[in-house]
Each structure stands twice: as C-alpha cells, then as structure tokens.
Amino acid sequence: MAALTIFPAIDLKGGQVVRLAEGDMARATVYGDDPAAQARLFAAAGADWLHVVDLDGAFAGESVNGAAVESIIAAFPGKVQVGGGIRDRAGVDRWLARGVERIIIGTAALKDPEFVKSAARDLP
C-alpha cells in the first residue's frame, strides 16, 4: 500500500481562515483570524504539507491575501502549495520565490492552457 499524504487546507478570505458553504463567498464560516497560528496547529498535529487557497484572489484573478499566505509560509515548517488568483507566469514565479513548493492553477488552466503547458515544461 502506498504512503498516504494528508493535505490540511487553509482557505483565506479577508485575511481570515474560512470555509465556504457550497462555494458561496457570502456564506463563509470564520475559523480564525490568524492564518499563521492555524498553520502551526496543523504542523503540531503532524502535517507535512498545507494546501492554501486565496479565495479572494480566485475571485479577483490576482493575489489578494498575499500577506496572510506569506505568514503561513513563514510559520509552517513543511511544504506549502498555494492557489487562488494565479493566472500568469509572473504569479507562479512570485510564489515560488517566496518558498511555495507547488502551485495550484484552476481558472488559467481552462482559459490559457498554453500558459500551463509552458509553466509545467519549464518548472517540472
């Protein structure tokens, strides 16, 4: 049996840790206002990875909660993958330079598949 990797998720809206009801931004439950503290809790529970989504960024088309994501990266001793509003190579490069291990691309994969192909080729 293959090793199992759990990816705890931190979704960000307005700098807060949230969960959306059925993807509805108007129906967010706030779980905390300190994303770095949440990252430390997941680390203390044994997480090696974090899945972080800038929900505001996903809707805006560019990073909105960058400071909160950076605080998570600084606080978490493991690896971080991030998504939400990453729609071009500059966005990919920015997050990789900040220490993100993986980039999650959603909307851009549908709207600009050549961008995704070139990023995957250049950054295996």
Region 73-100: what's the mean pLDDT? 96
Q: What stretches of the chain adopt beta strand conformation (E)?
A: 9-13, 16-21, 24-32, 49-54, 79-83, 102-104
Residue type, position 71, single letter? S
| 72 CB neighbour count, 10 Å cutoff | 25
Question: What is residue 108's predicted lDDT score, i.e. its pLDDT?
Answer: 92
**Percent of the chain whose pLDDT exceeds 90:** 94
The residues, ordered by sequence, that sit 6+ positions from 65 with a Cβ below 8 Å of its Cβ are 12, 13, 14, 15, 54, 55, 56, 57, 84
As a residue count, the chain comes to: 124
Region 47-76: what's the mean pLDDT? 96
Q: Are 24 and 18 in contact (CB under 8 A)?
A: no
The residue extents of the domains of the chain are: 9-122
CATH of 9-122, one of 3.30.1490.190, 3.30.930.10, 1.25.10.10, 3.20.20.70: 3.20.20.70
pLDDT higher than threshold 80 for residue 8:
yes
The pTM for the full model equals 0.92
